[in-house]
Amino acid sequence: MKRIIGWRWWCLFACAAGLAIFAAFCLDASAQAWVAQHREAGLKNFMRSVSRFGDWPEHIALGCVLLALAYWRRNKKWMRIAAAMIVACALAGAAARIVKISTGRARPSVQTEAAWNGPNLSARYNAFPSGHTAASTAFFATLAIACWRLGAAFLLIPIVIAFSRMYVAAHYLSDVVCAALIGLVTAYFVAHWILSPIGNRKSEI
């Protein structure tokens, strides 16, 4: 792990994140219209499966398998990495859950005049942000931070999951973009907290 990034980089990240969020909200309607025009029965069924198996329980289960394998191999480095992935996934998912209950944004599939309804426990009004995307991004971003050569390829998974959530009309573009940012920030801090002690060690991959 590298030392914690300086305030200049955080300012740059904040500006980039702000622009991404603004653009996402502006493009919500266009993105939703494009998705609606390109829906196909076969692809929709596939995206439903991606959404079904791309939630936080499956990520936690995978993390536990990795943790068990690392323990079996007596590999302390990968035990830490697997633990960090699990913690990041759980924290990002919890953060997304709190925000979505607080905002009460109606899902694209809900026909309602009020898009934002305030605190609401109904799943129909828990669109913002995407819990699937936040949890998956945090999980695999932590892996990428720990081992970029291995983890970079796996970052495609949260992207596919985010697209699947839009494809099945569960979320808007802004929901998945904001969720991805939550996941990235969570992954960074969890990785810095848990993985710093092994940062200067030689990779054992």
Which residues in 120-138 are b (16+ Cβ under 10 Å) and which e?
A: beeeebbbbbbbbbbbbbb
* pLDDT value, residue 197: 58
Number of neighbouring beta carbons within 10 Å of residue 144? 18
| pLDDT given for residue 136 in this prediction | 97
> pTM for the full model?
0.89
Sketch out the chain's domains with CATH numbers: 7-198 (1.20.144)
Whole-number pLDDT of residue 112: 67
Q: From CA 152, how far away is CA 17, in angstroms rounded?
A: 20
> Residue 204: what pLDDT?
44
Each residue's pLDDT tens digit in the chain (205 positions)?
Answer: 444 567 788 889 899 999 999 999 999 999 999 998 988 888 989 999 999 999 999 999 999 999 999 999 999 999 999 999 999 999 999 999 999 999 999 999 887 666 888 898 888 899 999 999 999 999 999 999 999 988 999 999 999 999 999 999 999 999 999 999 999 999 999 998 888 755 545 444 4
> With contact defined as beta carbons under 8 Å apart, do 198 and 3 qualify?
no
Angle between helices 28-37 and 156-167 (to 10 degrees): 80
What per-residue confidence (pLDDT) applies to 5?
A: 60
Q: Are 183 and 138 in contact (CB under 8 A)?
A: yes
In Å, how far are 74, 94, 176 from 167, measured between CA atoms?
42, 23, 12
Q: Which tokens hold the place of 142?
A: 């932590």
- What's the confidence (pLDDT) of residue 196? 73
- Residue-level pLDDT at 116: 86
